[in-house]
Structure 1
């Protein structure tokens, strides 16, 4: 089975959009780029499979709102934890 990856952006205008997706080497490059940029990566094969069906730059369909909202909440928590001053 080939590796798969999808990237989603949410700019608080409309629904989140799929901005990158791919298999194999492209998937590895998406993950590598995210890690280099400090963008959190979450492994969720079911969500990736669903996002692979969404056209690039298109908003996610309503059926994926809940799953993507959970992903965004995960990222928000990570960002909040990073921004807390260490004691």
Structure 2
């Protein structure tokens, strides 16, 4: 499963991308996280359904970022064969 998730709120300048990358180390997932020009953050996450689901739940419950999230938009997308590891994209 591959998902594109947009996090809206005060999610830039608060360590959101770094928290996301650190959390990803504990899961068998691939992906990227980056700031978007409109102030939101885009997460691309790929892996087994259960891993992706648990990762997304844990991220939204993480005390370092949870209170900054005001809205979450999730869509399933086609697999991206170029994903390797998990990285922050500028």
Instruction: Give the TM-score taking structure 1 as reference length.
Output: 0.30
Indicate the structure with greater strand content. Answer: 2
Give TM-score, length-normalised by structure 2: 0.30
Answer 1 or 2: which has greater helix percent. Answer: 1
Greater Cα radius of gyration, structure 1 or 2: 1
Which structure ranks higher in relative contact order (CA pairs < 8 Å, sequence separation ≥ 6)?
A: 2
